[in-house]
Structure 1
Amino acid sequence: MSEQNCLVANDWVCGEYLRSRSQELVDATVQHVGITAASVAIGVLISLPLALLARRRRAFAGPVLGVTTVFYSIPSLAMFSLLLPLFGLSVTLVITGLVLYSLTILVRNILAGLQAVPEEATEAARGMGYGPLRLLWEVELPLALPALLAGVRIATVSTVALTTVGAIVDYGGLGTLILDGLDSDFKAQVLTASVLCVVLAILADLLLLGVQRWLTPWTRVAAGRASRGTRIRKAAGAAEARETPEKVA
């Protein structure tokens, strides 16, 4: 059967669908990326002060982590329904829901990164005259970057998937195509949009991994040293094991 007839046959894989609906796919992908990027960016901007508050005042740590966890546990349909009276059927509704879902991941990772900053590093910075803001931006946040960016990666991949739920208010990016395809039993549209969602998640994770490695070169150095140290210890242990029988003899 020719590719031109695959639409009529409703095949799962159809090159004619890609050619005839290419602009529709591009528009949905752009919307998907835009919603995801905006949600994660706003989530980071909100999570950072919350994590700082939880670290500075331990009495707030429990409530902050508890509330963000409650947000994450709310089913997506229920979340959008609760936000509907505030934002109506709009892209703001979807972004707000996704931001609330990202908070539990981002706050926990940022807080873990800040708590892992060595005390000697902060004490040395204070001894050099660093004030609280300079200490945060030039010492603590750079050292917390590995954990922070790991949280951003997890939140981004999760948000790429959750964005599809926005299709229920017609702002779901590729999710809108998936839902429309399921309603009309349009197999090529369902498969193509689903594959694009997976590709977006993989590309976003790889891109952020590259950014993380670029911004935190010292982690690779430390890992390399640890690896060399492990090899040296194993070699020394093997050499000692070989010498032991000779000494016994």
Structure 2
Amino acid sequence: MFHDSLPDFTAIALIFLVAGAVKGILGLGLPTVALGLLGLVMPVPAAAALMTVPSLVTNVWQAAVGPGLRALLARTATLQVGIVAGVLAAGVLLPEARDEFGRRLLGGCLVAYGLLGAMGRRLPPPPPRWEPLLGGLVGATTGVVTAFTGVFVLPAVPYLQSLGLDKDALTQALGIGFTTSTLALAGLLATRGHFGVAASASSALMVLPALAGMWFGQQVRGWMSEAAFRRSFFFGLLALGDWLLLR
């Protein structure tokens, strides 16, 4: 999966360093940024396989640290089940997306997510009695999108933002959902031959720059305005998504 030259290896490591920093500041964004940038230089399935191990390690770290893991698991149980079901359904019932389709779908997801973030829009909070049903539907849709693009953000992230969780709980809930998505996607990629031993080893090499970036991002959060960074981040996603759609 890696090119043999050191400059290419360094460039990919820098992509994960940047993506990890974004995740450290915002609590999300590693797969979105990493896949968006890697998608410019390699096929989407290959980029998704390369992202799997760093995403899993950082997501487990994020999910384990927070105010109430057990309560969040119970509240978002149908969301997690829906994600797995959506990934499996897409893998079994739908043909594997061609690289061009995957790139365009990824671009559309980046544009949609960037627009939502730039406008500061959030979904209205759902009635508590509807949360289990809506969580399952949102999870299944997220799983299908994940199977085609490797991106876990839509529509799960806007849905979780609508639940009225505080900052720490929201960050932990995102980590739980991202962990579920990463594991489901890894299974799908393995069944399609995109995540063998070589791909696993290559992906594992990117854990260190991703963790270093995540640590750096957490430090930056202490002095940098998160609101300002959020605006820059979402407008950056818009530009990157537009570029992917127009390629």
Q: Which has the larger radius of gyration?
A: 1
* TM superposition score normalised by structure 2: 0.32
Higher helix share: 1
